[in-house]
């Protein structure tokens, strides 16, 4: 598996990302993750939609919570032809609890904990921590990646506005 040494940092400490770096124009790799009921959810379920995938290390941290809340709020301003997903390595049960407490009801929160298939396919799995790094992927209705952000310092926020503009350009 490809390893990208010092691709990101955590509080200034360099970390390695596993998997290939995705770029605009790449075909979005297929993946399956778990929902709160332990049912598989695959990217193919969204093949006719624009898909914004918000990736967070853990919902139980302040920046990850704020990122998830922000996209949940933004979902209200987007049509049904857009799917917003948040993916982390958190256990599905913990994700369900978080969503219930935080009022997350407009986007799907999904877990990659079982196989890390999403993390490896999108080059966003942190080798040293077995967590996903922070990032955003926007995929068009034909399955092509149209926006990518790997946040260099995972304690920082992604560029919400640019990611949302990428989604709106596809509508």
- Give tens-digit pLDDT for 141-166: 999 999 999 999 999 999 999 999 99
Candidates 45, 43, 160, 40; CA nearest to 111 is 40
Catalytic one among 32, 51, 64, 99?
Answer: 64
In tens, the pLDDT along 53-62 reads 999 999 999 9
Tokens 């948040």: give the residue. Answer: 86
| 32 is known as an active-site residue | no
* pTM for the model: 0.97
At 69-128, the pLDDT tens digits run 999 999 999 999 999 999 999 999 999 999 999 999 999 999 999 999 999 999 999 999
Domains with residue ranges and CATH for the chain = 3-169 (3.40.30.10)
Residue 43: pLDDT band with limits 50, 70, 90 = very high
1 pLDDT band, cuts 50/70/90, is confident
Q: Is 149 helix (H, G, I), strand (E, B) or coil?
A: strand
Band of the pLDDT at 44, cuts 50, 70, 90? very high
User: In a 3-state reduction of DSSP, which class is residue 84?
Assistant: strand
Task: Give the 3-state secondary structure of residue 110.
Answer: strand
CA 40 to CA 32: how far, in whole Å?
6
Rounded to whole angstroms, the Cα distance separating 47 from 60 reads 30
């Amino acid at each position: 598996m490809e390893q990208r040494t010092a691709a990101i940092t955590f509080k200034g400490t360099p970390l390695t990302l596993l998997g290939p770096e995705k770029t605009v124009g790449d075909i979005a790799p297929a993946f399956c993750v778990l929902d709160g009921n332990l049912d598989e959810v695959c990217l193919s379920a969204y093949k006719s939609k624009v898909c914004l995938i918000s990736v967070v290390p853990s919902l139980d941290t302040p920046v990850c919570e704020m990122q998830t809340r922000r996209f949940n709020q933004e979902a209200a301003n987007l049509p049904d032809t857009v799917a917003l997903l948040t993916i982390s390595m958190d256990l599905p049960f913990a994700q369900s609890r978080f969503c219930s407490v935080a009022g997350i009801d407009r986007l799907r929160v999904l877990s990659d904990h079982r196989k890390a298939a999403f993390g490896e396919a999108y080059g966003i799995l942190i080798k040293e921590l077995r967590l996903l790094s922070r990032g955003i992927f926007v995929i068009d209705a034909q399955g092509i990646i149209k926006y990518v952000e790997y946040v260099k310092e995972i304690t920082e926020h992604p560029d919400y506005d640019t990611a949302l503009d990428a989604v709106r350009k596809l509508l």
